[in-house]
Amino acid sequence: MPARRRTLLKVIILGDSGVGKTSLMNQYVNKKFSNQYKATIGADFLTKEVQFEDRLFTLQIWDTAGQERFQSLGVAFYRGADCCVLVYDVNVMKSFENLNNWREEFLIQASPSDPENFPFVVLGNKVDVDGGNSRVVSEKKARAWCASKGNIPYFETSAKEGINVEEAFQVIAKNALKSEEEEEIYLPDTIDVASGSQQRSSGCEC
């Protein structure tokens, strides 16, 4: 394997609308935060180069729209993902409860080869809001759910304050990379002339 081979990792961000998916991504990629809410239409795409354990790789981040009307795009968007980030708002119980749906929907649509061990990361966002007083989902509850789903790494983040964002994406990259290790073997055939007519040219206009 070439030493300086670069890897591209496709990362999907899922979660209910308004939980701060786009803000997290903007904080991570552009180090910016805006209080204004702009609904993502379909999906947004950002790239970020990351150095990790002496390797350079590119995160291709798919920031999807949380609204249900965009869910028909599922297969197209989820196909070939290396990691899936599930985001909820610690101040909105419903967004936490929906994590299960998001996870299952992803596994159905993306149908990864090893669903049990597919790398997810869960982010509880907006921990900064109201000094934590409006919080309704406890860290304990969230961690319990993550543990029950095969020890999904969990982070409490604030896209606004930039809390834990960098750390979370480090783990996202690390986990995505882990599953990439099993190399695909590419073994094409050789033409067997002896086996008769199979070798006829398809492009020959007779």
Partner 1 sequence: MASDSNSSPSITDCTDQNPNPNEVTDHLTTLAITESENAIVDEVDSNQEDSVDIANGSLDVNYDQNDDTQVEEELPTGSVLVSAEVEVVEDVRERNSSGGVDNGIDNSEHEIDVRLSPSSSGYAGERGTSSATSNSGIEEVEEDGNVITLQDSSIDAVADSASWVPGKRHVDEDDASVSWRKRKKHFFVLSHSGKPIYSRYGDEHKLAGFSATLQAIISFVENGGDNVKFVRAGKHQVVFLVKGPIYLVCISCTEEPQEALKAQLELIYGQMLLILTKSVNRCFEKNPKFDMTPLLGGTDSVFSSLIHAFSWNPATFLHAYTCLPLAYPTRQAAGAVLQDVAESGVLFAILMCKHKVISLVGAQKASLHPDDMLLLANFVLSSESFRTSESFSPICLPRYNPMAFLYSYVHYLDVDTYLMLLTTSSDAFYHLKDCRIRIETVLVKSNVLSEVQRSMLDGGLHVEDLPIDPSLRSLSLSPHLGQERLTTDSLERFIEVDHGIGGPAGLWHFIYRSIYLDQYVSSEFSSPINSSRQQKRLYRAYQKVYASMHDGGTGPHKTQFRRDENYVILCWITQDFELYAAFDPLADKALAIKTCNRVCQWVRDLENEIFLLGSSPFSW
List residues binding partner 1 (CB under 8 A).
Answer: 1-2, 5-8, 10, 42-43, 45-47, 49, 58, 60, 62, 72-73, 75-77, 79-82, 110, 113, 180, 184, 186-193, 198-206
Report the residue number, 131 or 188, with the smaller CB distance to partner 1: 188
In the complex, the smallest distance separating the C-beta of residue 46 from partner 1, rounded to whole angstroms, is 6
In the complex, the smallest distance separating the C-beta of residue 44 from partner 1, rounded to whole angstroms, is 8
Report the residue number, 53 or 192, with the smaller CB distance to partner 1: 192
Q: What is the DSSP letter of 163?
A: B
In the complex, the smallest distance separating the C-beta of residue 62 from partner 1, rounded to whole angstroms, is 6
β partners of residue 122: 86, 154
Element (H, E) at 7: strand 7-14
CA separation for the pair 21, 182 (Å, rounded): 29
In the complex, the smallest distance separating the C-beta of residue 27 from partner 1, rounded to whole angstroms, is 17
β partners of residue 44: 63
Number of C-alpha atoms within 13 angstroms, CB side, residue 34? 8
Report the residue number, 52 or 94, with the smaller CB distance to partner 1: 52
β partners of residue 51: 56
Angle at 67 between CA 93 and CA 31, to 5 degrees: 80
In the complex, the smallest distance separating the C-beta of residue 1 from partner 1, rounded to whole angstroms, is 8
Whose structure tokens read 């670069």?
Answer: 6
Report the residue number, 116 or 206, with the smaller CB distance to partner 1: 206
Report the residue number, 51 or 201, with the smaller CB distance to partner 1: 201
Report the residue number, 133 or 186, with the smaller CB distance to partner 1: 186
CA separation for the pair 6, 129 (Å, rounded): 39
Query: Which residue, 154, 148, 91, 89, is CA-closest to 120?
Result: 154
In the complex, the smallest distance separating the C-beta of residue 58 from partner 1, rounded to whole angstroms, is 4
Contacts of 21 (CB under 8 A, 6+ apart): 13, 14, 15, 40, 63, 64, 66, 87
